[in-house]
Amino acid sequence: MRQEAVIAPAAGFEPAGPAGASPADAPPADARPARSLSPSRAADFLTCPLLYRFRVIDRLPEPPSAAAARGTLVHAVLERLFDVPAPARSPQTAAGLLEPEWDKLVAAEPELAGLFADDAEREVWLAQALAMLDRYFGLEDPTRLEPAHRELQVEAALPSGLLLRGYIDRLDVSPAGDIRIVDYKTGTAPRADFEARALFQMRFYAVVLWRSRGTIPRLLQLIYLGNGEIVRYAPDEADLAATERKIEALWRAIERARAAGDWRPRPGRFCDWCCHQALCPAFGGSPPPLPAVRPGAALPPDGQDPTGARDREYEL
CB of 59 to ligand SF4, least distance (A): 15
Task: Using only the alpha carbons of the chain, give its radius of gyration.
Answer: 20
CB of 284 to ligand SF4, least distance (A): 11
CB of 53 to ligand SF4, least distance (A): 8
CB of 107 to ligand SF4, least distance (A): 31
CB of 289 to ligand SF4, least distance (A): 16
The residue type of 197 is: R
113 vs 282, which CB is nearer to ligand SF4? 282
Which positions touch ligand SF4 (CB under 6 A)? 48, 50-51, 265-267, 270-271, 274, 276-277, 280, 282-283
Taking residue 64's Cβ as centre, other Cβ atoms within 10 Å add up to 18
Closest CA to 217 of 154, 262, 274, 270: 154
Closest CA to 243 of 192, 211, 200: 200
CB of 209 to ligand SF4, least distance (A): 30
79 vs 302, which CB is nearer to ligand SF4? 302
CB of 69 to ligand SF4, least distance (A): 20
Q: Yes or no: say if 150 and 182 are a contact pair by the CB < 8 Å rule.
A: no
Buried b vs exposed e over 205-219: b needs ≥16 C-beta within 10 Å? bbbbbbbbeeebbbb
CB of 309 to ligand SF4, least distance (A): 16
85 vs 268, which CB is nearer to ligand SF4? 268
65 vs 227, which CB is nearer to ligand SF4? 65
What's the CA gap between 68 and 41, in Å, rounded? Answer: 16
The residue type of 300 is: P
24 vs 194, which CB is nearer to ligand SF4? 194
4 torsion bin: left (phi>0), alpha (psi -120 to 50), beta (else): beta
CB of 54 to ligand SF4, least distance (A): 6
